[in-house]
Amino acid sequence: MIILGWIILFLAVTSILAFNRAALIIFTITDAFLLLVFSVFSHASDVTLSTLWVIFGLLAIIFNVLPLRQRLLTRYLLSFYRKSMPSLSATEKEALTAGNVGWEGELFSGMPDWSKLQKIPAGKLSAEEAAFLAGPVEELCAMIDNWDINQRRFNIPAEIWQHLKKHGFFGLIIPKQYGGKQFSALAHSQVIAKVSSVSIAVATIVSVPNSLGPAELLLHYGTDAQKDYYLPRLASGEEIPCFALTSPLAGSDASAIVDEGVICRGENNQLSIRLNWDKRYITLSPIATLIGLAFKLYDPDHLLGEQESLGITCALISAHLPGVKTGRRHFPLCCAFPNGPTQGHDVMIPLDGIIGGAAMAGHGWRMLMESLAAGRSISLPAMVTGGAKRMLYASGAYARIREQFHTYIGSFGGVQEALTRIGGYTYLVESLRLFTVTGIDNGLRSAVASAISKCYTTALSREIHDHAMDIHGGKGICMGPSNYLAQTYIESPISITVEGANILTRSMIIFGQGAIRCHPYILAEMNAVADANEARGLRAFDQAIFAHAGYLISNFARAFSLSMSFGRLCQTPSGPLKNYYQQFSQYSALFALSADMAMLTIGGKLKRKEKLSGRLSDLLSMLYMGSSAIKYYELQDEPEMLPFVSWVCDELLVQMQQSLHEFLLNLPNRWVACVLRVLVFPLGRRVQPPRDQRGTEIAKLLLSPSRVRARLSQHVYTAATVHNPIGLLDSVLAQVIAAESLEEKLYHEGKRLKIKGRNFAEKVRSALIAGILTESEAQQLLDTENARLKITAVDDFSQEELANMRCGEA
Ligand SMILES: Cc1cc2nc3c(=O)[nH]c(=O)nc-3n(C[C@H](O)[C@H](O)[C@H](O)COP(=O)(O)OP(=O)(O)OC[C@H]3O[C@@H](n4cnc5c(N)ncnc54)[C@H](O)[C@@H]3O)c2cc1C
């Protein structure tokens, strides 16, 4: 009995220590004390007690005396690790060491410290940035006729180009000393989001010079001479840049490019590069004057040194050089931004055309990875957020304006389901975008966070567009100047494909890079293994591997106890979201444990098991998205947003539960899978989807001019200008809501008094004669009906007009 009691005490104390990640020395002292208790109170023989003390003493010495531990244990672990570690290509190594880690590292710890999330400062626009949004950006939006741009001329009008150049839209990221605006990532994102709420084509033209491309690369790696020459020309729009990486044989696997540069002697015996390339899909290439080119550099005559193959290199090439061929265009989903191939045949450039000069020859991949880490979370998430917010703004209003079966369609449960998803996902897209760009402004360059932001904002935006189209019915389908949906609906796969197509991003990059970059110990272990200094490597490996073992044991304890208590055992901030903080803490521990067990049982082959790593990626991404949703709510301080954040968190938790379930179903080692299932789902799968009532609350807030609707459609261009088909929505919405009680009266009283009329106007007139309506009420109803017809109307065309449209051309 005493022994059983002692075992229970031992397990309980060990679990508490493991749960709280106690240091090894604390474990040792506590275990010594427990053994002392056992020695005093148990009736075990002296021999048994002596044996136990000897075993304990030996283990305590081996584990706590570091030189002994390294000699007796770590040496062997190190050689085993070396044999089983996955081999990494040079480009993979560069990608893994690029940038840094933010909140996602905390989620990977299995024990997120929410106070750190709360301390992340909110992003804020400067007065200059706010004025730019309210001035030149607003003016630009008023100038855009998106129908004309995409369907008639398939080009951006000259006056828009002039406006962009005049107001410095191409220099948002360029420092003031070079004539740029030097805006924050937040301001940059807000500008793109606002412009994209009117036109993806124009937003793309603004975004490319400001994202991954010559300016970004020059800023980080350019020589002073290159910066002094190019940056002012780029900021003013004198040079139009493009960046050419993708080629016919190298799409997602961009490191497989075959485009090459050979070092040779050019004019006047000057060291030069002879370039040959064939690139496709290059945005702005048809009109670019300056091409940022990625190619593989070779030095067969050893003009630079011993090395023959120098690796991927980035250089700047004037599009006017002999041998450069540009101008032809691709036709990306009817969207008029210039995109096309570029080829170069024996193009000669001086060696100092390399970005950063000769010293940066062969460092192109690292440059691209580091710049992509930041850029990927600015342009594309901003671009799709503009569209998503516009869908939210329009769909809520339309569902209130459009009537069927004598009531507005937003009152039907089915339509509310679609509206709920639009509301919840738009809330999530906005919070994810802001959370990640604020991170950039706080100094983060996280490849994992930017991949999550790009992948999920673009995927969710596509879903938002689907639901918006469903709510609008035929109004969404029939294209024309008054259709505010179809163009962005058609365009939505573009952002999913570019800057890393989403399937690859989800199944390979987010977890593949995350597992190594965000895991608290793996990168340290890999660096220690690769250390050429054997003694230093052994010491570093010893530190990392034993800390890793402690982390694993702790996650076992945390996963089980948090699953049993639904996360209630952990310390979290209080308030209306306490329950979600707790459940995300629980899932952080479940994810950390599952990730470690997958790596331990599958090893290096895990990176090829994309269906498994994709589910781990879902878990990490949803934890990150849940954190961003909570952070957004805490920053907004807007109680009306509570249904949105709780719907989003419930939805994410259900999806995490499903991903974890599927991960366990498919983990190859079935014994480990069974043990894990007991630990992570000890009471079964208990997370429930959001209740319908939550959805109804969200839908109602979108069906009328609520504060939360205004907040979630902030920076959407809604002015009632001639080319802005959503410009009238708000005023008609207000008109329709004001007339609803009259419509009710007309319907019910008219029915009671058997009012007749072949159409609405006749019924109103009859109701006026019957005394149901006053003169002004009748007029109000007729005006409202006219306004409603204006919003629900669709365009029609003659056969000739259709034949002349660009998209109709064969
Ligand atoms: C409109 C547009 C603009 C672009 N602008 C530029 C630009 O300015 N500059 C530039 O250099 N490039 C540009 N690109 C190229 C873009 O970044 C690439 O298209 C993208 O990287 C994917 O390459 P791909 O289209 O050849 O697809 P593929 O590589 O053929 O991939 C097809 C599918 O397979 C998936 N896939 C591929 N490998 C894996 C894997 N290992 N695991 C899982 N899934 C995988 C992908 O996710 C994708 O879904 C642009 C592309 C488009 C369409």
Residue 268 structure tokens = 């006047």
DSSP string computed for 710-742: HHHTTT------TT-TTTTHHHHHHHHHHHHHH
Nearest to 117 by CA among 577, 564, 547, 568: 577
The model carries a pTM of 0.95
DSSP 303: S
- For range 560-586, the mean pLDDT: 94
Among 277, 504, 607, name the best residue to mutate to test ligand 1's pocket (greatest count of ligand atoms within 8 A of Cβ). 504
pLDDT tops 80 at residue 345: yes
Minimum CA distance residue for ligand 1 atom 50: 281
Looking from the CA of residue 499, the nearest atom of ligand 1 is 17
Task: Give how far Cα 559 sits from Cα of 499, 568, 586, Å.
Answer: 36, 12, 7
- For range 340-354, the mean pLDDT: 97
Q: Which residues contact ligand 1 via a Cβ below 6 A?
A: 242-246, 251-252, 281-283, 332, 339, 494, 497-501, 503-504, 507-508, 610
Bigger pLDDT: 809 or 253?
Answer: 253
254 alpha carbon to ligand 1 midpoint, in Å? 9
**Contact present, 382 and 192 (Cβ < 8 Å):** yes
CA distance 195 to 387: 10
Nearest to 377 by CA among 233, 468, 505, 487: 505
What is the maximum span of the chain, computed from C-alpha positions, in angstroms?
110
- Min mean pLDDT across 41-55, 301-315, 375-389, 570-584 is at 41-55
Minimum CA distance residue for ligand 1 atom 36: 504
279 alpha carbon to ligand 1 midpoint, in Å? 13
pLDDT in tens, 138-156: 999 999 999 999 988 889 9
Minimum CA distance residue for ligand 1 atom 37: 252
pLDDT tops 80 at residue 95: no
- Min mean pLDDT across 387-401, 595-609, 659-673 is at 595-609
Amino acid identity, residue 51? Answer: T
Choose from 49-63, 619-633, 747-761, 796-810 the range with maximum mean pLDDT.
619-633
- For the chain, the helix, strand and coil percentages under 3-state DSSP, each to the nearest 5: 65, 10, 25
- For range 354-376, the mean pLDDT: 87
251 alpha carbon to ligand 1 midpoint, in Å? 5
CA distance 724 to 65: 73
Minimum CA distance residue for ligand 1 atom 44: 504
pLDDT tops 90 at residue 371: no
Which residues have a Cβ under 8 Å from the Cβ of 584 and sit 6 or more positions away? 112, 567, 623, 626, 627, 630, 649, 653
Looking from the CA of residue 335, the nearest atom of ligand 1 is 1
**Contact present, 239 and 289 (Cβ < 8 Å):** yes
CA 175 and chain centroid, separation: 26
> Which residues face 282 on adjacent strands?
340
pLDDT of residue 805: 78
- For range 245-269, the mean pLDDT: 93
Minimum CA distance residue for ligand 1 atom 42: 504
pLDDT tops 50 at residue 130: yes
Ordered alpha helix ranges (H), 473-577: 474-477, 486-497, 502-504, 511-517, 522-530, 534-565
pLDDT in tens, 277-310: 999 999 999 999 999 999 999 999 999 999 999 9
pLDDT of residue 177: 97
pLDDT tops 60 at residue 809: no
- For range 682-696, the mean pLDDT: 95
CA distance 114 to 427: 21
- For range 657-683, the mean pLDDT: 96
Identify the H or E element spanning 798.
none
User: By three-state DSSP, how is residue 15 classified?
Assistant: helix
Among 150, 206, 242, 246, name the best residue to mutate to test ligand 1's pocket (greatest count of ligand atoms within 8 A of Cβ). 246
Mean pLDDT of the residues in the chain: 93
> Which residues face 264 on adjacent strands?
272
Bigger pLDDT: 559 or 43?
Answer: 559
pLDDT tops 50 at residue 808: no
pLDDT tops 80 at residue 92: no
DSSP string computed for 748-768: HHHHHTT---SSHHHHHHHHH
pLDDT of residue 184: 96
pLDDT of residue 810: 38
pLDDT in tens, 430-479: 999 999 999 999 998 888 999 999 999 999 999 999 999 999 999 999 99
CA distance 314 to 730: 49
pLDDT tops 60 at residue 245: yes
pLDDT of residue 775: 95
pLDDT of residue 406: 87
Looking from the CA of residue 337, the nearest atom of ligand 1 is 1
46 alpha carbon to ligand 1 midpoint, in Å? 71
pLDDT of residue 375: 74
Confidence band, pLDDT 50/70/90 cuts, at residue 86: low
- Which of the residues are catalytic? 499
pLDDT tops 70 at residue 161: yes
Radius of gyration of the chain (CA): 31
Among 497, 511, 612, name the best residue to mutate to test ligand 1's pocket (greatest count of ligand atoms within 8 A of Cβ). 497
Confidence band, pLDDT 50/70/90 cuts, at residue 82: confident
- For range 576-591, the mean pLDDT: 97
362 alpha carbon to ligand 1 midpoint, in Å? 23
pLDDT of residue 806: 64
Ordered alpha helix ranges (H), 65-182: 66-69, 75-84, 90-97, 103-108, 114-119, 127-132, 138-143, 146-147, 158-166
pLDDT of residue 4: 84
CA distance 518 to 530: 19
Q: Which CATH number fits domain 217-362: 2.40.110.10, 3.30.1300.10, 3.40.50.970, 3.20.20.70?
A: 2.40.110.10
pLDDT in tens, 2-22: 788 888 888 899 999 999 999
Looking from the CA of residue 253, the nearest atom of ligand 1 is 29
Ordered alpha helix ranges (H), 604-669: 610-636, 642-666
pLDDT in tens, 501-520: 999 999 999 998 888 889 99
144 alpha carbon to ligand 1 midpoint, in Å? 29
pLDDT of residue 273: 97
458 alpha carbon to ligand 1 midpoint, in Å? 14
